[in-house]
Amino acid sequence: MPLLQVEDLRVFFHTYAGVIRAVDGLSFSLEPGQCLGVVGESGSGKSAAMMALLGLLPQPPAKIHGGRALFHHQDLLCLPKRELRKIRGNKIAMIFQDPMTSLNPYLRISTQMTEILTTHEGVSTKNALSRAIAALEQVGIADASRAIVQYPHQFSGGMRQRVMIAMALLTKAEIIIADEPTTALDVTIQAQIIELLRSLQQRYGLSLILVTHDLGVVAGISDHILVMYNGRLVERGTVEDIFYRPSHPYTEGLLQALPRVDQQHQHLYAIPGAPPLPTAQRQGCSFAPRCPQVMPMCYEGEVPWVAINQQHQYLCHLTTELKEGAAR
C-alpha cells in the first residue's frame, strides 16, 4: 500500500489578473522507502502541489479545488488544522529551496531544531538538544555541539541546507519533501547535498519526494519520476523509463536540454518558446505551441493518457503506434 496517495489534486490561485490553475489534476503515489522525483520547468506547479499537501499555501489567494491526499487513511487536504500541525514537521517534513532565507536569522540553530522535538514529542530541552546535535552529525556538520549554538548567518548556504536536512531527520519523518533543495547552491555543493540525501535515504529507508526543475538532479537518486508541465502531469515512469524511453515530447526536450559530458563543446539545446501564461485558457495540450511533433488535434479537446505499461504513462495524442510509424 502506498504511503501517500494523491488523487486529482487541483490548486488554483485567484488573483486580480485571473485564475491561475497552478496544479490541475495531479495524481501520484509514493511507496515507502522510495524516492520520487518531480520535475518540470519553473512555474509548472511543483511547489504549489507540495505546499498544498501540508496546508502551507496562503488561502487566499490559493484555493484547493478538489482532490484527495491519503496518508495513513487520512485525507491531508481536509484535515483540521490541529491534526495537520501534528503531521507537519513530524510525520512529513519539508526542505525548502533557499537555505539562506529558510532559517530564522533571529534564532540560534539550537532553538530552531529543538523546538521541533519539544513540540511533537514533548521531550525535555536537554534531551532535544542532544538529539539535535546527533542529527547535525548525521548530516556531516563538524563540531556539531559548538555549531548548534550559532546563528544561521554564521553558516554557508550548503551548511544551512544540511541543517534543514538535519531538522527533517529529527523526528524520523516518514516522508521528506525536498523542494528544489539544491537550486540556490553552487554546483559542487549541489552534488554534495544530493549525495547526502541519497546516502540518508538508503541508510534510513526514507521516503523522499525530490522536487526540481533540473532532470540531472533526480537522475542518480530517484526511483520514479513525475514530469509536470503547466500544472499537469505529462509523463510518469521509472528513472529508466524517463531517461532511456522518454515518450512525451516535453520530456524528450528536457532530456535534450541536459548538458552532457560527451558533447562538451556543443551548443546546449533549449526547448523553443516559453510556457503559456499562467492565466491562459486551457484548450487541448498546453505544450502544443512548443511541440516539435504537434498535430492539428493537439489544440483542441482532451488529451488522452497513453499507457506503455503499469509504471510508464504519458499524456499525448502521439500513441506508441504513431511514433513507431513516424520512426519507420
Partner 1 sequence: MLGYIIRRLLQVIPVLWLVATSTFFLMHAAPGGPFDSERQISAEIQANINARYHLDEPLGKQYLRYLQMLASGDLGPSFRYADRSVNEIIATTFPVSAMVGLIGLFFALSIGLSTGIFAASKLNSWRDYSAMLLALLGISLPSFVVGPLMILLFSIKLGWFSVSGYNRLQDLLLPGLTMGIMYAAFFARLTRGGISEIIRQDFIRTAKAKGLSNTVIMLRHTLKGGLLPATSFLGPAATAMLTGSLVVETIFNLPGLGRFFVQSALNRDYTLVMGCVLFLAVLIVIMNLLVDLAYAFLDPRVTYD
Residues of this chain that interact with ligand ADP (CB under 6 A) are 13, 15, 20, 22, 40, 42-48, 58, 61, 278
We find the least distance from the C-beta atom of residue 44 to ligand ADP, in angstroms, to be: 4
Please report whether residue 88 would count as binding partner 1 according to CB under 8 A: yes
Please report whether residue 230 would count as binding partner 1 according to CB under 8 A: no
Contact predicate 229/40, CB 8 Å: yes
Contacting residue, 4, 26, 94, 288, with partner 1 by CB under 8 A: 94
Residue 34 Ramachandran class (φ > 0 left, ψ -120 to 50 alpha, else beta): beta
Please report whether residue 87 would count as binding partner 1 according to CB under 8 A: yes
Show the cell assigned to 123. Answer: 521531550
Show the cell assigned to 88. Answer: 507537519
Contact predicate 282/21, CB 8 Å: yes
> Partners of 162 in the beta sheet?
none
Helix or strand holding residue 6 (H, E): strand 4-15
Helix or strand holding residue 92 (H, E): strand 92-95
Contacting residue, 27, 119, 145, 293, with partner 1 by CB under 8 A: 119
We find the least distance from the C-beta atom of residue 305 to partner 1, in angstroms, to be: 32
We find the least distance from the C-beta atom of residue 20 to ligand ADP, in angstroms, to be: 5
Q: What is the CB neighbour count within 10 angstroms for residue 259?
A: 10
We find the least distance from the C-beta atom of residue 131 to Mg ion, in angstroms, to be: 30
How far apart CA 110 and CA 93 sit, in angstroms, is 18
We find the least distance from the C-beta atom of residue 285 to Mg ion, in angstroms, to be: 23
CB closer to ligand ADP out of 110 and 190: 190
We find the least distance from the C-beta atom of residue 108 to partner 1, in angstroms, to be: 8
We find the least distance from the C-beta atom of residue 63 to ligand ADP, in angstroms, to be: 11
> Partners of 237 in the beta sheet?
225
28 — phi, psi (to 5°)? -165, 165
CB closer to partner 1 out of 166 and 239: 166
Q: Which residue type occupies 205?
A: G
Which residues in the 121-160 window bind partner 1 by CB under 8 A?
A: 151, 153
Selection from 217, 207, 138, 222 nearest residue 177 by Cα? 207
Helix (H, G, I), strand (E, B) or coil at 307: strand
User: Binders of partner 1: how many residues, by CB under 8 A?
Assistant: 29
Please report whether residue 77 would count as binding partner 1 according to CB under 8 A: no
CB closer to partner 1 out of 131 and 317: 131
- Contacts with Mg ion, residue ranges (CB under 5 A): 47
CB closer to Mg ion out of 47 and 222: 47
Q: What is the largest CA-CA distance in the chain?
A: 69
CB closer to ligand ADP out of 48 and 298: 48
How far apart CA 288 and CA 99 sit, in angstroms, is 36
Residues lying near partner 1 in the complex (CB under 8 A): 54, 56, 85-90, 93-94, 96, 98, 101-108, 111, 115-116, 119-120, 151, 153, 164, 167
